[in-house]
Amino acid sequence: MGATKLLKFVERDQAYPAKRTAEERAQDFLEISRPYILAKAEEQAGRCSQCGVPFCQIHCPLQNNIPDWLKLTAEGRLEEAYEVSSATNAMPEICGRICPQDRLCEGNCVIEEGFGSVTIGSVEKFITDTAWENGWVKPLKPLADRSGQSVGIIGAGPAGLTAAEALRVKGYDVHVYDRHDRAGGLLTYGIPGFKLEKPVVMRRVERLRDAGVHFHQGFAVGVDANLADLRAKHDAILIATGVYKARAVDVPGADGPTTMEALDYLIAANRTGFGDAVPDAPRFDAQGKHVVVIGGGDTAMDCVRTAVRQGAASVKCLYRRDRENMPGSVREVANAEEEGVEFVWLAAPAEITPTGVVAQAMRLGQPGPDGRRAPEPDGGNRFTAKADLVIKALGFDAEDLPTLFGAPDLPVTRWGTLRVDHRTQMTGLDGVFAAGDIVRGASLVVWAVRDGRDVAAQMHQYLRSQAKMGAGAAARAA
């Protein structure tokens, strides 16, 4: 019976959930797409070809069993589909919303050429949202009592939260330390609500809190306690801070009164959405201003689309390469253009003045070591883009954690990321592990979830070995 509901990609067109109009969605910070109804989710899942080599699964960092939960969805077996989806992913509804599926699972779907890929991300989101609505997302319950051993996790972003869930299920006493007043890291304060509404994140956090995970908010390691203090308190430590140091725009005027860092801008916007009082709020409000965002990644897309919703007079995105070489999601660029953002391709800032950005026209030269054609100045061709607010979104590097944490013996790479044994994910300090962007550099949320899942397994093995050693020592002493 199930087979009759699949392999329908020839007779059924690809159909993503309908987007609200650009005019409507520019008025709020709600997600831009309307949810699937059950019949549409089943219909689109039924387009899956159930291919012999599931490239969607291979190209998913989590190796999610996508064909199986698509099959179950097509057959109307949504609770089972949720169980399969959540077996490998601690945050399926979040990944369904913010993963760049066009570069991962959907971009590698075997029917993509000619028929359009299966709408994997939208179905994934539908499955888990339905699970929450129907009470299928059960409270977390520890499978054993290992409360005699405790774990300290520094960072409440996707890697830290994923590891916290896995370790709490194993029965450990789990403490999460984070500098912000809410957990979630960039999920909460970096990604705008129109991509990820905040109650979606908060319900995941509450589920962990209800399971007995202890959250220490507004806790700055290096100020409230150094790394050595936490190591003395816990049997194992996980550093999952992410990377927050903004890359500099090295031009005259880059630190002028009209400029700000992308993350400062996004945090202020998200805090406003929570109803928080934001210090110097008018500075972070684009209403009535001419805005120029420098950069071409997903953070730049978040900034330009936030500025539109704040009522900016105009919004331009300045990027030194062309559209084809832009690192941001193709879908995000399309959404931004629909909402009125102007992209200025092959343009790099040469100077930032109180009234605008002097831009140098660029051209693409020879491919660099990464295979991408390197941008180079196109003669003396310059122009000025009017700007009352300039947002710098060139990406992020690692903070100086050895100094910040008061741990000079914490080993780092030449990029400032933490050096780990990639077999165990342990740093050079015994019992101190690291995962997520602080190890791999700025990357995708789905990779942070993968790293959090993997490091939890390694920490469990370490803690078991420590417990056995302790038991052996106690026996010998007796």
Q: What is the pLDDT of residues 227-271, one digit of tens each?
A: 999 999 999 999 999 999 999 999 999 999 999 999 999 999 999
How far is CA 10 from each of CA 76, 114, 324, rounded to the nearest angstrom?
A: 21, 9, 29
3-state secondary structure of 427: coil
CB-based contact 58:105 (threshold 8 Å):
no
How many domains does the chain fold into? 3
Q: For 397, left (φ over 0), alpha (ψ -120 to 50), or beta? A: beta
Q: Is residue 141 part of a domain?
A: no
pLDDT tens, residue by residue, 147-186: 999 999 999 999 999 999 999 999 999 999 999 999 999 9
Residue 280 included in any domain: yes
Last residue of some domain: 396, 412, 440? 396
Same domain, 89 and 102: yes
- Domain shared by 259 and 380, yes or no: yes
For residue 247, count other CB atoms closer than 10 A to its CB. 15
Alpha-carbon torsion (357, 360, 364, 366), positive or negative: negative
Of the residues 373, 396, 419, which one is the last residue of a structural domain?
Answer: 396
- Taking the C-alpha atoms of residue 341 and residue 344, their distance in angstroms, rounded to an integer, is 10
CATH of the domain at 38: 1.10.1060.10
Q: Do residues 89 and 454 make contact, with C-beta atoms less than 8 angstroms apart?
A: no
Q: Which domain holds residue 328?
A: 246-396
Please, which residues have CB within 8 angstroms of residue 411's CB and are 6 or more apart in sequence?
418, 419, 427, 428, 429
How do residues 429-445 score in pLDDT, each as one tens digit? 999 999 999 999 999 99
CB distance 219 to 179 below 8 Å: yes
Taking residue 336's Cβ as centre, other Cβ atoms within 10 Å add up to 25
Per residue in 372-417, pLDDT tens?
888 999 998 999 999 999 999 999 999 999 999 999 999 999 999 9
Q: Full-prediction pTM beyond 0.85? A: yes
Q: Are residues 358 and 387 in the same domain?
A: yes
What is the DSSP secondary structure assignment for residue 344, as one 8-state letter? E
d(CA 123, CA 414): 41
Domain presence at residue 139: no
Residue 448 phi, psi (nearest 5): -65, -40
Q: Say yes or no: 207 and 88 in one domain.
A: no
Q: What is the pLDDT of residue 68?
A: 96
